[in-house]
Structure 1
Amino acid sequence: MATTSSSSKRHSILPPAGPKPPVQFSSSITIADSALLTGSHPITISSESVVHPRARLESLGGRITIGRRCIIHERSTVGAVGTSNRTATTDKGVTLGDYVTVEVGAAIEAGDTVVGDGTIVGVGCKVGAGAVVGKHCTLTPHTEIAAGDVVPDFTVVYSNGVRRPDRRGVAELRNKGQTRQIEVLRRMIPSNPAKFQ
């Protein structure tokens, strides 16, 4: 009687990965082999950005544009089709400015959603479809930004909905820290952009 290895059984029950999106990558990005890119709209990733293992970029709802020196952490999703726009393809995607960090488990929905330069989207955050988050904002862990909401530049948003202006003046320091972190990540994460092209 022939036996089937457990690894071949696992591969046979995995769901299909979905359509392979057109991509435009800078030659200096770092993207893990186990990142998941699906959809039909283009995905553009600019220079020196890092996409961690198990991060998801879903371009079913529209184009995804990721700026320079961004970090997309594991188990985060950029371009998710949320409950408010699940039935229609919107052709309206997600734009992340330069130096944006999307931390573990965060989700940014498609729908002309914009996250400005230098913003941190904290662990487990959700940014709804069509929201506009300004430059150098901080969304603390588990914060939800409602669909269509606007967060002004230099704002800290807490998970209980409280907002305050960020007057620390640390934008330049954060950008320098992001650059140093990217240098370390590039040595730690084996990159395979050819898999997605």
Structure 2
Amino acid sequence: MSSKRLSILPPVSSSGPKPPVHFSSSITIADSALLTGTHQVTVLSESVIHPRARLDSSAGRLNLGRRCIVHERAHLGLVPTNGRFTEAAVTLGDYVAVEVGAVVEAGNTVVGEGSTVGVGARVGAGAVVGKHCTLTPHTEIAAGAVVPDFTIVFSNGMRRTDRRGVAVELKNKAVARQIDVLRRMIPSNPAKFV
């Protein structure tokens, strides 16, 4: 029996140029995350980038706020097939979670503070998702659409105002606790991307 340690994740190769980055010293970024592109990638304090998350700045800047979580196989900055933008940034506010397999297309796309982009959801180019919104799994937000603050969007296109009454401070504390756990679970290697 071989004494070699088996890796849980297969090696991941980057297919493109290495983007210029500006990382806070307190971020957690997995060694197997993919960063490609030519525009600036900025990640602010205490944000977490999971293994196999893809940040693509080919079309424009990527700006991630404080305490954001980008899960496995999430893709930020995907260039839409029909998109031609003079400015194609993606901006995530503070406390944003982009869950497993979700996509946020490039094109001055904004996801507001405290919002969650659910598993397999897609935010189209140029869409603006307001603060403290919830996009349930497999939701699609059309290119250029605007989602008002405190809106829940379901995968069938239905929307409703979030009236759960959860205090923003409590949500933020829960995210901070989740980040604390993730920082202990995900080996971080920001130097690989600098």
TM-score (norm 2): 0.91
Q: Which runs of 5 or more residues in structure 2 are unaligned?
A: 1-9
Identity across matched positions, percent: 71
Residue matched to 2:135: 139
Distance in 2, matches of 1:103 and 1:67, equals 16
The answer to whether residue 191 in structure 2 is matched with residue 177 in structure 1 is no
The answer to whether residue 191 in structure 2 is matched with residue 194 in structure 1 is yes
Distance in 2, matches of 1:112 and 1:121, equals 17
Distance in 2, matches of 1:124 and 1:179, equals 23
Larger Rg belongs to: 1
**Alpha-carbon distance, 1:15 to partner:** 6.9
Q: For the Cα contact (< 8 Å) 2:45–2:65, is it kept in 1?
A: yes
Distance in 2, matches of 1:141 and 1:16, equals 27
Distance in 1, matches of 2:41 and 2:87, equals 13
The amino acid of 1:191's aligned partner reads S
Residue matched to 1:47: 45
Distance in 1, matches of 2:93 and 2:192, equals 25
Distance in 1, matches of 2:13 and 2:36, equals 13
The answer to whether residue 92 in structure 2 is matched with residue 96 in structure 1 is yes
Superposed, 1:12-161 pairs within 5 Å as 17-85=15-83, 88=84, 90-161=86-157
Q: How many residues align?
A: 184
SS at match of 1:83: coil
Residue matched to 2:164: 168
Instruction: Render the CA deviation track for 1:41-69: whole Å, top value 9, x for unaligned.
Output: 00000000000000000001100000000
Distance in 1, matches of 2:95 and 2:179, equals 10
Distance in 2, matches of 1:95 and 1:70, equals 11
Distance in 1, matches of 2:187 and 2:97, equals 19
TM-score (norm 1): 0.90
Q: For the Cα contact (< 8 Å) 2:14–2:36, is it kept in 1?
A: no
Q: Which structure has greater helix proportion?
A: 1
Q: For the Cα contact (< 8 Å) 1:60–1:89, is it kept in 2?
A: no
Bigger CA drift: 121-130 or 89-98? Answer: 89-98
Aligned in 2, Cα 1:15/1:69: closer, same or farther, shift over 3 Å?
A: closer
Q: Which runs of 5 or more residues in structure 1 are unaligned?
A: 1-9
The amino acid of 1:130's aligned partner reads G
**Alpha-carbon distance, 1:178 to partner:** 0.5
Instruction: Render the CA deviation track for 1:99-119: whole Å, top value 9, x for unaligned.
Output: 000000000000000000000
Distance in 2, matches of 1:16 and 1:73, equals 18
